[in-house]
Amino acid sequence: MRLQVNCEDRLGMTRELLDILTSQHIDLRGIEIDRIGIIYLNCPEIEFEQFSQIMSQIRQLDGVTDVRKIQFMPSEREHKELKALLETLPDPFFSINLQGKIDLANDAAELLMGKSRGDILGENIQSFLGFNFHSWLEKEEAAKRSEMVVISGLDYMMEIMPVYVADESEKQVLASAVILLKSLSEAKMPVAMREISSDNGFEHFVGQSSRFKHLLAQAKKLSLLDAPLLIQGETGTGKEMLARACHQRSLRRENPFLLVNCVSMPDNAAETELFGFAGSATEPGKKGIFEQADGGTVFLYEVGEMSAHLQIKLLRFLQDGTFRRVGEEKEMKVDVRVICSTQKKLPDLVATGEFREDLYYRLNVLALVVPPLRERTADIVSLAELFLAQFSQEMQQPKPVISDELAQYLSQYAWPGNIRQLRNVLFRAMTQVDGTEVTVDDVQLPENESASIISEETLDGSLDEIMKRYESGILNNLYRSYPSTRKLAKRLGVSHTAVANKLREYGINKQ
């Protein structure tokens, strides 16, 4: 039982109350004293006759004006009210003790982390958010702080707020800290944060396949170097995003990252765009892309489309970093790293004379090859989950789950448009979904692409590469109807071992 005793503020009042409880052999579980003359007692439940006797004894004490039974102690009520308030917050919330351990987390935090409350409480916050609590405590003197974090590929604004309480001398003492995560979509993001987020780092990449992990490990190493980097891969595989991540990880990350689209740039304006032009009496000069990016990175998108004239200019620039503005004799020198991307086979263009061999070797100092999505089947569902989470943030609606049937269907599709196609398909599905689950009926994929992966894009490359892509597409589609290696081997008239090896080679499985 819990009692509220209204009384005068006099010496010995608390002692007399405790004497009454002791005389009745009642254990005291807790006591709270309010400054306005209220004493709260927390005791075990007792029989009605003994309860009436205690109430009578308390009322007879000098200075007691009222005594009543209450449901909660003040601290219990405040705790329950605070907990109820936090549970209703749509944003993930954590309460952290001075050891950096999680004392409290709401439903939104549990959902974000994909773990139960029992697995979260008591764990160090650094293992979940990468936030070094002790460093914040020591170096920043526990000041309020906001910073961008990426969790499961999504952007959040993390707000860390210290909680101070007054001690007996009225001095403010740090008791704990709270962390609030606010999801950031591109539309809701402040302009300053949008500029930061546009240079996505490697933490935005999602995938579990060995091909993907190898690519990221290699890219992280090469990003720290200053030599030219050539990124090769089919359309829609994320070459630009990878280039931005390499820049963001490099020592140049505080300087500009500028993109040049070699496909859409007209040849007569390209040289001016890249190198700028000299000023005159009537017109001021203009800085080109390379001059603007001094100290940073220039990304040449689809460098295989660059004209022969610009190839010569680019080759000279790569030799020593010098160039001349159009119409100017004075040479300028800048410090720029060049990253290029192409979906074409540059050696083939060199063989046909469309691309300079010396430029190719200048650009191909460091190289990354981004695998197509059909060779990363283990990553398809993870990417789909990421895209649905992003769309849910932007549309401000609950994230639907992916049905098992749809997960299998997505994993078996050939994806000639790669990640870009997957994202567009899921965005369209998100606008069609009615309920809490995305199903096969919500997804629209061209039947001809599902049946075969042959297209102009996939005919690119050597005969051996084309045949491998075609073989992978056949096995992908047939494995849906013959979901065992023995049945599939019998259907194709080959040995069980041969089929098992091919499925393993192309990363095709029942999921």
Residue 275 sits in a domain whose CATH number is: 3.40.50.300
Q: 495 lies in which domain range?
A: 373-506
In this structure, the answer to whether residues 30 and 143 fall within a common structural domain is no
190-194, 213-217, 420-424: least confidently modelled range: 190-194
In this structure, the answer to whether residues 439 and 472 fall within a common structural domain is yes
- Select from 49, 76, 103 the last residue of a domain: 76
Q: What does the pLDDT read at residue 213?
A: 87
Q: Distance from CA of residue 261 to its chain's centroid?
A: 27
Please state, in angstroms and as integers, the Cα–Cα distance from residue 500 to each residue in 43, 208, 479, 507, following that order.
70, 21, 11, 10
- Select from 170, 197, 224 the last residue of a domain: 197
Give me the mean pLDDT over the 66-77 stretch. Answer: 87
Would residue 30 count as lying in a domain?
yes
Q: Which residues 6+ apart lie within 8 Å of 205 measured at CB?
A: 153, 212, 216, 238, 241, 245
Q: What does the pLDDT read at residue 141?
A: 65
In this structure, the answer to whether residues 214 and 358 fall within a common structural domain is yes
Q: Answer yes or no: is pLDDT of 68 > 50.
A: yes
Give the span between the Cα atoms of 317 and 322, in whole angstroms: 5
Give me the mean pLDDT over the 62-73 stretch. Answer: 88
Would residue 99 count as lying in a domain?
yes
Structural domain count, the chain = 4
In this structure, the answer to whether residues 171 and 209 fall within a common structural domain is no
Q: What does the pLDDT read at residue 153?
A: 66
Q: What does the pLDDT read at residue 338?
A: 95
In this structure, the answer to whether residues 450 and 334 fall within a common structural domain is no
Q: Answer yes or no: is pLDDT of 78 > 90.
A: no
Q: Answer yes or no: is pLDDT of 40 > 80.
A: yes
In this structure, the answer to whether residues 170 and 292 fall within a common structural domain is no
Q: With contact defined as beta carbons under 8 Å apart, do 305 and 265 qualify?
A: no
Would residue 138 count as lying in a domain?
yes
Give me the mean pLDDT over the 153-159 stretch. Answer: 79
Would residue 209 count as lying in a domain?
yes
Q: What does the pLDDT read at residue 263?
A: 83
Q: What does the pLDDT read at residue 477?
A: 72
19-28, 359-368, 449-458: range with highest mean pLDDT: 359-368
With 0-12 / 13-18 / 19 or more C-beta atoms within 10 angstroms meaning exposed / middle / buried, residue 203 is: middle
Read off φ and ψ for residue 332, nearest 5 degrees.
-120, 155
The two three-digit tokens of residue 402, written as one number: 């992916």
Give the span between the Cα atoms of 230 and 369, in whole angstroms: 8
Phi-psi region of 469 (alpha: psi -120 to 50; beta: other; left: phi over 0): alpha
Report residue 84's pLDDT band, with 50, 70 and 90 as the boundaries: confident
End-to-end CA distance of the chain: 57
Q: What does the pLDDT read at residue 135?
A: 80
Burial 112-139 (b: 16+ CB within 10 A, else e): bbeeeeeebeeebbeebbebebeebbee
Q: What is the pLDDT of residues 414-473, one digit of tens each?
A: 898 899 999 999 999 888 888 888 988 888 887 534 444 444 444 556 777 778 777 887
Question: In a 3-state reduction of DSSP, which class is residue 228?
Answer: coil
In this structure, the answer to whether residues 392 and 432 fall within a common structural domain is yes
Q: What does the pLDDT read at residue 290?
A: 93
Q: What is the pLDDT of residues 304-341, one digit of tens each?
A: 998 888 899 899 999 888 998 888 888 899 999 999 99
- Select from 301, 334, 369 the last residue of a domain: 369
Q: Answer yes or no: is pLDDT of 168 > 80.
A: no
Q: What does the pLDDT read at residue 461?
A: 65
In this structure, the answer to whether residues 377 and 364 fall within a common structural domain is no
In this structure, the answer to whether residues 101 and 70 fall within a common structural domain is no
Average predicted confidence (pLDDT) for the chain: 83
Read off φ and ψ for residue 259, nearest 5 degrees.
-105, 135
Q: Answer yes or no: is pLDDT of 193 > 70.
A: no
Q: With contact defined as beta carbons under 8 Å apart, do 381 and 510 qualify?
A: no
Question: In a 3-state reduction of DSSP, which class is residue 402?
Answer: strand
Q: What does the pLDDT read at residue 143?
A: 79
Q: Answer yes or no: is pLDDT of 368 > 90.
A: yes
Share of the chain above pLDDT 70, in %: 91
Would residue 83 count as lying in a domain?
no
In this structure, the answer to whether residues 487 and 381 fall within a common structural domain is yes
The angle subtended at Cα 124 by Cα 118 and Cα 127, nearest 5°, is 95
In this structure, the answer to whether residues 182 and 286 fall within a common structural domain is no
Q: How many CA atoms lie within 13 A of 360 on its CB side?
A: 17
Q: How many CA atoms lie within 13 A of 29 on its CB side?
A: 10
Q: Answer yes or no: is pLDDT of 244 > 70.
A: yes
Nearest to 107 by CA among 125, 119, 92: 92
Nearest to 89 by CA among 65, 68, 119, 110: 110
Share of the chain above pLDDT 90, in %: 21
CA dihedral of residues 239, 240, 245, 246 (deg, nearest 10): 70
Q: Answer yes or no: is pLDDT of 272 > 60.
A: yes
Give me the mean pLDDT over the 342-362 stretch. Answer: 92
Q: Answer yes or no: is pLDDT of 283 > 90.
A: no
Give me the mean pLDDT over the 236-247 stretch. Answer: 93
Residue 7 sits in a domain whose CATH number is: 3.30.70.260
Contacts 24+ apart (CB under 8 A), 222-226: 222/246, 222/366, 222/368, 223/247, 223/249, 223/250, 224/249, 224/250, 224/251, 225/366, 226/250, 226/337
Pairwise pLDDT comparison (149 vs 391), residue with the higher score: 391
Would residue 447 count as lying in a domain?
yes
Helices (H), 89-186: 107-113, 117-120, 125-129, 133-139
Would residue 511 count as lying in a domain?
no
In this structure, the answer to whether residues 206 and 351 fall within a common structural domain is yes
Give the span between the Cα atoms of 438 and 385, in whole angstroms: 11
Helices (H), 285-330: 289-292, 308-320
Would residue 134 count as lying in a domain?
yes
Q: What is the pLDDT of residues 370-415, one digit of tens each?
A: 999 988 888 999 899 989 988 887 887 888 889 999 998 898 888 9
Q: With contact defined as beta carbons under 8 Å apart, do 93 and 70 qualify?
A: no
Report residue 286's pLDDT band, with 50, 70 and 90 as the boundaries: confident
Q: What does the pLDDT read at residue 480?
A: 67
Residue 100 sits in a domain whose CATH number is: 3.30.450.20
61-75, 133-147, 350-364, 369-383: least confidently modelled range: 133-147
